[in-house]
Amino acid sequence: MIQDIHPHRFDNQYKPAAVMTEHDYVFHFRGNTLLLKNDGEKLDIPRKSDLPKLTIGTSSVFLFTLNQTACFLVWEDPNVEGPLFSYQSMDVFRIIKEQEIAWICLAGFHVYTWYSRNNFCGTCGNKTQHKLDERAMECLHCHAIYYPTIAPAAIVAILSGEHILLVRGRNSTKGRYSLVSGFVEVGETLEETVAREVKEETGLDVRSIHYYANQPWPLSGSMMVGFIAEADMNQPIVLDRQELSDAAWFHRNDLPDHSLPLSIAGEMIERFEKGELK
């Protein structure tokens, strides 16, 4: 999965006193796009040394480190020029060769999105500011504190012997098939989320729900918790047309175009194809 970048080391310990140096990575977003450098061979995150219009006075926020190199978020437009630089959609992580770079692009987007949505206090409406001792935003007026938001979600590989149920979302990337998934509702266990989402989206009843693995998924600010379940493939499939355009059973030797193994969905599907998912 995309966060598995060993031997590279991602460290998200917050360092509020860190000061940006010439060698550090610089993240600048425009909406759902990120400024990247293309040297003709690979896409990379620019360093401060690549952006001469950034000054000591440029407002920046420490994000995390990769291999002990600090990563900073800057809000001001770096006004970079030249063919080496461009803003890329966040889907670019799928084609970046260095997986550790692809991963921090996503992780940076998660933090950027959270900061963007918490500039003002949700309780009293006053401006928030960075808390000095931890990654949080605080309101000096009513003393509310806001931490990065992570939404739990369940995703499930539904098996029936040599077959797996795959679904295609109405807005899925390139029409790829994937697994049933959904966010946890108030008061639910993860297993209850699995059973409810499968029933709502496909009309199927599942059994023998058991844990597989988990994966942070910054694009949606979620923690995807993977499960495996069984179902009788003779049950009629009743699609939720608002969520899905298709759902069908596929034999392990005849799978359609599906999610890549960078995601937990893709990993589970590929392991099923190899006969390793039970």
How does pLDDT run across 159-181, given as a tens digit for each residue? Answer: 999 999 999 998 876 679 999 99
pLDDT value, residue 160: 97
pLDDT value, residue 82: 80
Residue 4 lies in a domain: no
Domain extent for 172: 151-273
User: Cβ(153)–Cβ(181) under 8 Å?
Assistant: yes
For residues 173 and 186, state if they share a domain.
Answer: yes
For residues 103 and 210, state if they share a domain.
Answer: no
For residues 214 and 257, state if they share a domain.
Answer: yes
Q: What residue ranges of the chain have pLDDT lower than 50? A: none
In 96-150, where do the E strands start and end? 129-130, 137-138, 145-146
pLDDT value, residue 236: 97
pLDDT value, residue 49: 93
User: How does pLDDT run across 175-199, given as a tens digit for each residue?
Assistant: 799 999 999 999 999 999 999 999 9
Around Cβ 50, how many Cβ atoms within 10 Å? Answer: 19
* Residue that is written with structure tokens 């979620």 in the block: 222
Interatomic CA distance for residues 238 and 252, integer angstroms? 22
For residues 242 and 167, state if they share a domain.
Answer: yes
- 54-59 long-range CB contacts below 8 Å, 24 or more apart? 54/20, 54/26, 54/78, 58/20
Residue 1 lies in a domain: no
For residues 61 and 129, state if they share a domain.
Answer: no
For residues 79 and 173, state if they share a domain.
Answer: no
The CATH code of the domain that includes 14 is: 3.90.79
Q: Under 8 Å CB-to-CB from 180, ≥6 apart: which residues?
A: 155, 156, 158, 165, 167, 197, 198, 201, 202
For residues 163 and 255, state if they share a domain.
Answer: yes
Interatomic CA distance for residues 274 and 253, integer angstroms? 9
CA-based torsion, 52, 57, 59, 61: positive or negative = positive
Residue 278 lies in a domain: no
Residue 139 lies in a domain: yes
For residues 169 and 198, state if they share a domain.
Answer: yes
Residue 5 lies in a domain: no
